[in-house]
Amino acid sequence: MTDALALTWRQYRLERKMFWRNPSAAFFNFVLPLLFLAAFGTIFAGSQTDLDIIVPGIAGMSVMTTTFVALAMNMVFLREQGVLKRLRGTPLPSGAYLGGLAAHAITNTAIQLSIVVAAGALLFGVGLPENWLMLAVFVAAGVVCLGSLGVALSHAIPNFDSAPAYVNAIFLPVILVSGVFYDAENAPAFMRDIAEVLPLTHLIDGLSAAMVTGAPFADEVSDLAVVAIWAVLGTILAIRGFSWEARRG
């Protein structure tokens, strides 16, 4: 167990070093959500009500970019470049490698959320979260849910060249429908119906309760349950379709 943890830690450190050496990855994970936050924060600077919607929405989107988007893209790259196959043949335990990847994604999420929370409190008048425990619970659930769905999506992507198209075909509509940039309750009925099925909507609702409204945890149990259901589904699909080898001949 001690050796496995040590190997996981070493893999995690390697993933962090490689991440910071890739400017495009750092941009998409950290800078892009902050650009959205700055842009919409400036647009709605005169309306605290709108800012109270935008900040939790960007926080939810940040969780999605650092887990769903990042893992979907990375797993396809690693699989199709033969990295996973080569690693499978080394003494490094599979659990240590995958654990390092998961810890890397969790770290990115924590950093991004910290930046968004700080910006919301210092620049947009949202204040510090009302319920830190609820925030931690929903972030953890969101990481598991969206991370597993990202890995599951990677199984359906045939090659790395097509990965951005596959990922953005899901990511962009989801953030537009789920109320990242507006109150989903004010959307047309058909969009609200779609949003109610998606985990990001309920993740944002939970983050909003934790960061802004201070609603009791009991009021958000249904939102947490939806995220948990998607997490179970994503985990099943991620495990069942996982492959260490590239699909092309």
Of the CA atoms within 13 Å of residue 61, those in its CB half-sphere come to 31
pTM above 0.85, yes or no: yes
Model pLDDT, residue 69: 92
Start-to-end C-alpha separation, the chain:
37
Among 14, 8, 16, 65, smallest CA distance to 36 is for 65
- What pLDDT does residue 60 have? 94
CA dist., res. 107 & res. 126, Å (int): 24
- 3-class SS of residue 187: coil
pLDDT at 143: 95
Cβ atoms of residues 197 and 71 within 8 Å: no
3-state class (DSSP) for residue 93: coil
Q: What is the DSSP string of 189-230?
A: HHHHHHHHHSHHHHHHHHHHIIIII---GGGGHHHHHHHHHH
pLDDT computed for residue 84 by the predictor: 86
Q: What is the C-alpha to C-alpha distance for residues 32 and 62, in angstroms, rounded to an integer? A: 9
Give the span between the Cα atoms of 171 and 198, in whole angstroms: 12
Residues ≥6 apart with Cβ < 8 Å to 24: none
Digit-by-digit pLDDT tens for the chain (249 residues) are 677 788 899 999 988 888 887 776 677 667 777 888 888 888 888 788 888 999 999 999 999 999 999 899 989 998 988 888 888 888 888 888 888 888 988 998 998 899 899 988 888 888 888 899 999 999 999 999 999 999 999 999 999 899 999 999 999 999 999 988 888 778 888 888 999 999 999 999 999 999 998 888 889 999 999 999 999 999 999 998 888 888 654
Write out the two tokens for 18: 């490689």
